Every structure is written in structure tokens, then in C-alpha cells.
Amino acid sequence: MLKKSDQNTCSVYLSCFIFVSNFKTNETMKKLATLLVVGAVAFMYACGPSAKELEEKRIADSIRVADSLAMVQAEQQRIADSIAKAGEEKKKADSIAHQDSIKKHLIKPAKVAKPAKKAKK
């Protein structure tokens, strides 16, 4: 969808083209038509964004992308922290359940490992 100013510009170009195309094709009219077409192209080029505006847009896009990446990284860190916390809670609950099973004599306690004997030389 064209903006209102773009629609007006397009209608001006169209009317100029129709006006020029209705002339008889003699040498003067060909020169005038060429001049109008070159003028229209120059006008369209001049209406584009300036280098400063393009640079500002590029910087704004860079900032937007950096902010998006920071948000994604923060979300990934939050998920990793949540998973680590859940793992710690599960480990603690498993340890408590293991101790309860030992107290109820459902399982035998682990044997204490004896220190290894040193080999004689």
C-alpha cells in the first residue's frame, strides 16, 4: 500500500507521461520527453532517504537486534537456572527418600569402603 505522498508522486509521473505521449513525435517533442523522463528519474532519486537517515536506521536495527539477543540469552539463562534448581531439589528429595528407606529397613546401608592396601615392593 502506498503512502499518500507516494500516491501523489505516482499520479504526477503518470500525468506527465500521458501528456508527453500525446505530443506528435517530432524532434523537439522527443527532446522534451527525454528531458522530462530524466527529470522524473532525478526527482525519484532525490526523494529517497539520505545517507544520514540510512545510517540512523542501520544503528536502530543493530540496537534492536542486540536487545533481542540479550532477551533470548536472559531467557536461556533463566531456563538453565530453573533446571539446575529442579535437579538440586530432586537430589535432595532422593537423598531423604534413601535415608527413609534405610530407617525402614527396606534397603541395606552402603558399606564403608576400606582403604586400599599398599602393594609391597
Q: What is the pLDDT of residue 17?
A: 62
Who's near 105: CB < 8 A, 6+ residues apart?
none
Higher pLDDT, 70 or 104: 70
Residue 34 identity (one-letter amino acid): T
Confidence (pTM): 0.45
Which residue matches cell numbers 582403604? 115
Who's near 33: CB < 8 A, 6+ residues apart?
20, 21, 23
Q: Which three cell numbers stand for residue 113?
A: 569402603
The gap from C-alpha 71 to its chain's centroid, in whole angstroms, comes to 11
Is 117 a member of any domain?
A: no
Q: Is the pLDDT of residue 66 over 50?
A: yes
Domain count, the chain: 2
Q: Is the pLDDT of residue 21 over 50?
A: yes
Please report, rounded to a whole number, the percentage of residues in the chain having pLDDT higher than 90: 35
In this structure, are residues 13 and 5 in contact, taking their beta carbons and an 8 Å threshold? no
Is residue 84 located within the same domain as residue 42?
no
Q: Which DSSP string corresponds to 32-88?
A: HHHHHHHHHHHHHHHTSPPHHHHHHHHHHHHHHHHHHHHHHHHHHHHHHHHHHHHHH
Is 12 a member of any domain?
A: yes
Q: 38-61 pLDDT, tens per residue? A: 888 888 777 777 788 889 999 999
The whole domain housing 82 covers: 49-106
Is residue 96 located within the same domain as residue 54?
yes
Is residue 31 located within the same domain as residue 73?
no
CA distance 74 to 83: 14
CA distance 66 to 11: 41
Q: Is the pLDDT of residue 90 over 80?
A: yes
Is 115 a member of any domain?
A: no
Is residue 57 located within the same domain as residue 78?
yes
